[in-house]
Amino acid sequence: MSKQKIAHGIIAAMITPMDNEGNINFVELKNQVNRQIAAGISGLFTLGTNGEGYILNHDEKLKVVKSVIEEANHRVPVYVGTGCVSTAETIELSKQAEQLGADALSVITPWFAQASQEDLYKHYKALNDAVNIPILLYNIPARTGNALAPQTVARLAALPNIAGIKDSSGNFDNILQYIELTRDMDFSVISGNDSLILWTLKAGGTGGIAACANVLPEIMVSIYKNYQAGDWAQARKAQDSIRPFRNCFKLGNPNTIVKEATNLMGFPVGMPRAPFNGLSAEAVQTIQKTLDKYYSEYKK
């Protein structure tokens, strides 16, 4: 897949379904692939933050990638999260994902240990030189402790396989700087914060990688489709309508909120692996009430 076709539209930041023992539920994983494609999603992103890539072992990651790619069967592009702490392991997993048929990679910055901007540049440059498919940078400093500066992103954008960046910093000015510095390059800027998708599009970005697509896939898709059709009012209505569910994220780990909401909708995706799976009874009730309101008001 060419760089020009990467990171456009609404890409589902897919969860990884699990059973009560924390084992991967591959039957439901395939069901979620088909559910997202039926909703009109532009692509599937597996092994990201919502996919719990941080807690799966190497063999499990490969099995998830293989399952998603086979079930998608070229109907939509599949993005695979292959970022690891070390450059060597990132390259190893990325090459394996490429061999399994991934259309693109989504690569989070290394985490825990502090990295300089030059460290980050060299990390991604080594990956760029090691694979032959597009790479989507992934900036989420609140989780990793390492932020990709706009000037570093502009340097990386000049490399042949660096196709774009997913920004989950929550800082819209950061997105604007990415866009401003790469506007004349073959490079896409995509929002990793669901609340900023429409505004990113308006500023010159190309879409969003959406956690809310696990719960509200049709609504998320409609943000992009209405914007592309020139119907700003409907696009903004769709964007605004996800706010009640986004407000639920304050109730606990957002990954847990997304999985519990998906469970409440009748899809047995289980809960995140321990210890990141605590949720109070009151939180579950609030999520259920929010979903009830969504069905009564927003999905008319």
Selecting among 61, 166, 225, 259, the annotated active-site residue is 166
Count CB-CB contacts under 10 A for residue 11. Answer: 32
Task: Give yes or no for a contact between 110 and 123, defined as CB atoms under 8 angstroms apart.
Answer: yes
Selecting among 79, 138, 224, 227, the annotated active-site residue is 138
Cis bond upstream, residue 275 (ω within 30): yes
Active site residue 138: yes
User: Which residues 6+ apart lie within 8 Å of 103 measured at CB?
Assistant: 1, 6, 43, 77, 78, 79, 133, 134
Alpha-carbon gap, residue 152 to 87, rounded angstroms? 17
Task: Give yes or no for a contact between 146 and 120, defined as CB atoms under 8 angstroms apart.
Answer: yes
The 3-state DSSP class for residue 166 equals strand
The 3-state DSSP class for residue 245 equals helix
Q: Where are the beta strands (DSSP E) in the chain?
A: 9-13, 43-46, 78-81, 104-108, 135-139, 162-167, 188-191, 207-210
Catalytic residue positions? 138, 166
